Amino acid sequence: MATTAQTRDGDRVVDSHPLAAELAKVLPKDRKFTAYHLSTPPTIADPLCLPPAYNNTSSDSKDRRPSKPLKTYCEKHFLAISIGAGKEEAHREKEILVLGLEIYIYTTSFSTIIFVSKADSTGYLNLLNLPKGTPSPIREITSCFLAFLVANRRRQSKQLVVNLFARAQSQYLFAGSVKNNGKHILDDRGLVKWWCRVLNTLLEGADYEDVRKPWESMHGYLVIPGLDNYETRAFLPRTSLATSNWTLNHPLEKISPYTNDPDSFGTNVHPRSLIPMYPDDPKARFVQELEESTAEKAKLLNGWKTPKTLDQFWEMMAFRQECSSGRLTGFLWVVFEPKADSKPSSSTAKPAATIPTPNASFSTTTDDVTPPTTPRPTQRGNTSLTTPGASSSKLNGLRTRKLRRKHKAKKVLSGPIIPRKPQIKTRQREFPKLVETPYYFWPKNGRGQVVLNDNSYKRAIELLLHLEFGTLEQGVLSTARWTREVNMGENWALEIVGERAAVDSTASSSSTEETVNNLSGVVRKKRSADEATSESVLSSPAVNTLGDSLIRKKAKLDASTTTTSVGPEAESEPKANVLGAGLVRKKPKA
């Protein structure tokens, strides 16, 4: 990964940020994009899974208590991509957001979980007028950003999981974008297939071989409640390695720290301690309902009344509102297992690096200085007898202290009053001092261009949710306001110019045509109807056919005349006698 080196050129930032370099490799050649990467430092968060009870020797003990929850940190990332707002004169130098990705990184002493919280587009990507056959930039950016986080958040001997649930919705981040006719809104089935293709690039994509090298193994998992394996298999990508790289099941038992420590928690951990709960997660709402309906002692002894297993849990999830009523919700995982030879011993831990923060006060350490020995104060006993000398000395000491306090002269302020500028509290004071601990890893390359605390990050996302992207005018104004207010007016854009060459569709079509022509001598073509009839006539025996003079056609009656019109073939035959009108005898009327 490249190191960050910024140089300013007017108002634009020419940045060699590692994320900008990775995105440039997958974007169309000579196309300009702008990235805005926002993140937070790792902060203490609620544990993802409920802690199980201690593994007591007596399983029937009624005084079982829950174990201590895992210490969990959460780091939030938000990536926004913008492009030029078209060729109109009014928007030639303007920008419009086209993509937003929100990702949470949960870390414990056992694993790292990259959870995709939200992903949305505005539909204005068609302003680039990309040629037909160009890979979708939105899919390429999403895969690249996930691979970037996987590469920069890898910890030795720690498992890493990429997790998300796909639920179709018209808009997540950009309000009013559903009014844009250019926005391609996928249904539930199309969205699950789209995310499977995105995560499949991490498993077998040629662009991310360096990301896969440090890991021992990678594997994908897919669960769609309400569908069997035969129906779920249709959502996987149509590649040769998809069958071996994907499993149509969940990995909750494999990625849980409780099942990997049977000495402390036993071999049979209840499903309530294996299901992670994320923000706005259908699983979390179901688990919360089950927790509220079960007594605390019953949960520690036997868990929920129902479901008792994870398979029963997923069966019941199929009847939930989020997964039923004609909609599908897909749960996807990609598990990265570390190499066995790279596991360091727990006794020889690496010293944690520190972050040099500006305007920080440093104090000298007193580890090598022995403090002076002072006598301990005597404790009060039941005896009330004291010597008169000791009592008088105490009283004299109290009097002298009071006199010193009274006679302390106050400092008189004099001179001109100089106003002092208000000092803004820097965000550096809330940043952690350690870059690497047993619970999280916060490298410099993986941070955003703007790093905010948790409260400031929430305000930035809330501001984006209240903006409007229904029309191009509204989207341009909303983009300018959001990018300006997040970093308090300072420029924090990452300029990206695509480097991937476009695939020539005409050349590919001509090559396929040549291939088909070369197989003309081998492929048996379907015969036309004329060829089939001629071949059948030649193969069948000769049939005696009558000439035109021997065929007598049936006479046709003409409605306009009483004569019979015949064909030219029957002109030689004698004509029939026709009675005149005077010779016809009519029947008298009654």
Mark residue 38 as left, alpha or beta (left: phi above 0; alpha: psi -120 to 50; beta: remaining).
beta
User: Where is mean pLDDT largest: 490-504, 510-524, 546-560?
Assistant: 490-504
Nearest to 168 by CA among 144, 190, 142: 190
Q: What are phi and psi of 450, to 5 degrees?
A: -125, 125
What's the pLDDT at 380? 41
Paired with 227 in beta bridges are none
245 touches 220 (CB < 8 A): yes
Q: Using CA atoms, how far apart are residues 274 and 259, in angstroms rounded to an integer?
A: 8
- Catalytic machinery residues: 281
315 touches 227 (CB < 8 A): no
Q: Using CA atoms, how far apart are residues 561 and 558, in angstroms rounded to an integer?
A: 6
The torsion defined by the Cα of 530, 535, 536 and 538, in degrees rounded to 10, comes to 130
Q: Confidence band (pLDDT; 50, 70, 90) for 19?
A: very high
Q: Is the dihedral of CA 139, 145, 146, 151 positive or negative?
A: positive
Q: Confidence band (pLDDT; 50, 70, 90) for 151?
A: very high
Structure tokens at 471: 């029309």
Among all chains, which residue has been given the structure tokens 């780091």? Answer: 75
Query: Longest Cα pair distance anywhere in the chain, in angstroms?
Result: 176
Asked if residue 388 has pLDDT above 70, the reply is: no
More confident residue, 565 or 464: 464
Q: Confidence band (pLDDT; 50, 70, 90) for 261?
A: confident
Q: Confidence band (pLDDT; 50, 70, 90) for 55?
A: low
The average pLDDT across 408-422 equals 77
The pLDDT tens digits of the residues spanning 435-446 come to 999 999 999 888
What's the pLDDT at 382? 43
| Single-letter amino acid code for the residue at 176 | G
More confident residue, 313 or 526: 313
What's the pLDDT at 2? 41
Crossing angle for the helix pair 472-486 and 454-465, to the nearest 10 degrees:
170
Asked if residue 555 has pLDDT above 60, the reply is: no
The pLDDT tens digits of the residues spanning 356-380 come to 443 333 333 334 434 444 444 444 4
Asked if residue 562 has pLDDT above 60, the reply is: no
Crossing angle for the helix pair 282-292 and 310-317, to the nearest 10 degrees:
110
pTM: 0.71
What's the pLDDT at 341? 60
Asked if residue 280 has pLDDT above 50, the reply is: yes
Q: Confidence band (pLDDT; 50, 70, 90) for 534?
A: low
What's the pLDDT at 520? 45
139: Cβ contacts below 8 Å, ≥ 6 apart: 194, 197, 198
Q: Confidence band (pLDDT; 50, 70, 90) for 526?
A: low
What's the pLDDT at 269? 86
Q: Using CA atoms, how far apart are residues 484 and 450, in angstroms rounded to an integer?
A: 12
What's the pLDDT at 303? 80
Nearest to 335 by CA among 268, 250, 258, 210: 250
Q: What stretches of 321-478 adopt beta strand conformation (E)?
A: 329-338, 450-451
Q: What are phi and psi of 225, to 5 degrees?
A: -60, 135
> What is residue 241's DSSP assignment?
T
Structure tokens at 38: 């926002």
The average pLDDT across 102-129 equals 94
More confident residue, 502 or 354: 502
Paired with 434 in beta bridges are 354
What's the pLDDT at 41? 94
Lowest mean pLDDT of 47-56, 58-67, 285-294, 307-316, name the range: 58-67
Asked if residue 141 has pLDDT above 70, the reply is: yes
Q: Using CA atoms, how far apart are residues 250 and 335, in angstroms rounded to an integer?
A: 11
Nearest to 270 by CA among 67, 51, 62: 51
Asked if residue 397 has pLDDT above 80, the reply is: no
By residue count, the chain amounts to 590
Q: Is the dihedral of CA 137, 218, 282, 296 positive or negative?
A: negative
Among all chains, which residue has been given the structure tokens 């005597």? Answer: 378
What's the pLDDT at 476? 93
Q: What is the DSSP string of 252-293?
A: TTTS-TTTT-HHHH-S---GGGT----TT-HHHHHHHHHHHT
Q: What stretches of 153-273 adopt beta strand conformation (E)?
A: 159-167, 215-223, 246-247
Cite the DSSP H helix spans in 373-465: 388-406, 454-465
What's the pLDDT at 133? 82
Where do the domains of the chain lie? 6-52+65-250+331-342+427-503
Asked if residue 330 has pLDDT above 80, the reply is: yes
Mean of the per-residue pLDDT values for the chain? 76
